[in-house]
């Protein structure tokens, strides 16, 4: 995911405008290390590489984008275009043997068909090479409770969760059930049994799948996303009854994450949820990708490990004080986002400007530079 930026000349190989070849485009995008492919009428074919957009060839016309998208559906061999044409949106994933796995989101815009395709490598990422701290990987040692990985879209949450699942799969004899929409990384059975279920393909929705998972003798449940209060409630119950639940949220910071979960519920339930969360939550990892000096993207992490003091703060509605605990902690399994950025700067990986741009407290951080 965090690959070296290819030379620009690799990205501008001529592409025929008269015959769109979806398979050829997927091969090309994978070869140059693209993370995303954009097919939108009125723009050239576009790739995102290390956070930078590159355009190829001439502008695509609506008939070209439709031809491309129809070919993508044909490549899946199991997913038809009918649902997309009816609803205007669709999400699915598929693999091309020997090449890569692709997560596709198709949609209509200005009356034409468009798509964004995420490129996912077959090989599970190496957490050390990605810069995932040992303190994050150590969270795989929990046997019960809830571990949350949070951050904005495209920050690498799925990759971090995949690394945790792979660590458990390598070191424990567990039954791991993953509920994802769509499946991203494919896990082979190692020491553990890994059951991977894709929403809308293998099961109806997250809530139905999660309730069913509790009857399937799981030790670990990976819940791709907690989208509503029923799913959150069921996930907390699973964590409370002796299962390890790994999940993600689109939040930044431990305090914001905890507040978001509690605020999903009605005011009459929030006290009970806060008490339950204080007992089941084991850790919150927040991450974001920031530009490095060498042109790649590197992850910065905030790690909150549950302590008696933080548990009391959640119960007593003092969640806003958690950031201060993390910021001043000297524990190895607790680090603020600002200190993580400062560590990257001191190692010569990122610039001062990047630290200030991505930190949460610029005034305090400037004093430490």
Q: Three-state SS for 192? A: coil
- DSSP notation for 310-334: HHHHHHTT-GGGHHHHHHH---TT-
Contact call for residues 3 and 121 (beta carbons, < 8 A): no
CA–CA separation, 26 vs 100, rounded Å?
A: 9
| Alpha-carbon gap, residue 294 to 275, rounded angstroms | 46
Q: Is 93 exposed, middle or buried (0-12, 13-18, 19+ CB in 10 A)?
A: buried
Q: Which residues of 12-41 are buried (b: 16+ CB within 10 A; e: fewer)?
A: eeebeeeebebeebbebbbebbbbbbbbbb
Residue ranges, CATH 3.30.450.90, the chain: 8-120
Q: What is the pTM of this model?
A: 0.84
Cite the DSSP H helix spans in 199-336: 206-213, 229-240, 254-263, 267-280, 308-315, 322-328
Sheet containing 52-56, strands listed edge to edge, beginning at the edge strand earlier in sequence: 52-56, 45-49, 36-39, 112-120, 100-109, 89-96
Give the integer Cα–Cα distance in Å for 254 and 206. 23
From the list 298, 326, 295, the residue with the least C-alpha distance to 310 is: 326
Instruction: Write out the CATH class of domain 127-366.
Output: alpha beta
* Cα–Cα distance, 272 to 268 (Å, whole number): 8
Q: Average pLDDT across each block of 10 residues of the chain; the chain has 369 residues. List them in order.
A: 42 49 95 94 93 91 95 91 93 89 94 94 87 97 98 92 97 97 87 94 92 97 92 95 96 95 96 97 97 94 97 97 94 94 97 97 93
Say how many C-beta atoms besides its own lie within 10 A of residue 364's C-beta. 11
Q: What is the pLDDT of residue 19?
A: 65
Contacts of 259 (CB under 8 A, 6+ apart): 319
Residues of the chain with CATH 3.40.50.300: 127-366
Got the DSSP string for 126-180?
PHHHHT--HHHHGGGG--SEEEEEE-STTSSHHHHHHHHHHHHHHH---EEEEEE
CATH numeric code, 8-120: 3.30.450.90
Q: Kindly report the CA angle at 145 between 200 and 168, in degrees rounded to 5?
A: 70
82 burial class (0-12, 13-18, 19+ CB within 10 angstroms)? exposed
Report residue 109 as tokens: 């815009």
**pLDDT at 14 (0 to 100):** 38
């Amino acid at each position: 995911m965090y690959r070296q930026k290819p030379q620009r000349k690799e990205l501008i190989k001529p592409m025929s405008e008269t015959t769109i070849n979806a398979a050829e485009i997927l091969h090309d995008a994978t070869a140059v290390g693209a993370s995303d492919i954009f097919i939108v009428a009125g723009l050239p074919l576009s790739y995102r590489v290390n956070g930078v957009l590159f355009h190829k060839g001439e502008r695509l016309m609506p008939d070209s984008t439709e031809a491309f998208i129809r070919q993508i559906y044909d490549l899946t061999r199991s997913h038809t275009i009918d649902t997309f044409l009816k609803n205007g949106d669709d999400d699915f994933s598929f693999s091309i043997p020997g090449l890569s796995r692709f997560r596709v989101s198709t949609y209509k815009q200005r009356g034409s068909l468009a798509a964004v395709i995420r490129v996912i490598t077959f090989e599970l990422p190496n957490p050390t090479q990605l810069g995932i701290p040992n303190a994050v990987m150590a969270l795989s040692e929990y046997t019960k409770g809830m571990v949350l990985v949070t951050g904005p879209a495209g920050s690498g949450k799925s990759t971090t969760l995949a690394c945790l699942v792979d660590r458990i799969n390598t070191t424990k004899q567990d039954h791991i059930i993953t509920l994802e929409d769509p499946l991203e990384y494919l896990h082979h059975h190692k020491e553990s049994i890994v059951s991977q279920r894709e929403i809308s393909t293998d099961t109806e929705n997250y809530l139905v799948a999660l309730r069913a998972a509790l009857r399937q003798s799981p030790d670990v449940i990976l819940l791709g996303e907690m989208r509503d209060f029923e799913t959150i409630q069921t996930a907390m119950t699973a964590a409370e009854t002796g299962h390890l639940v790994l999940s993600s949220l689109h939040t930044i910071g431990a305090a914001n994450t905890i507040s978001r979960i509690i605020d999903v519920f009605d005011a009459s339930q929030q006290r009970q949820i806060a008490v339950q969360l204080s007992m089941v939550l084991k850790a919150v990892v927040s991450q974001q990708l920031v530009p490095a000096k060498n042109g790649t993207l590197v992850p910065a992490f905030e790690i909150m490990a549950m302590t008696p003091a933080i548990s009391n703060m959640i119960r007593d509605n003092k969640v806003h004080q958690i950031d201060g605990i993390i910021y001043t902690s000297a524990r190895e399994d607790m680090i603020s986002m600002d200190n993580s950025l400062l560590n990257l700067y001191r190692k010569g990986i990122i610039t001062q400007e990047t630290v200030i741009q991505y930190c949460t407290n610029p005034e305090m951080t400037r004093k430490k530079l």
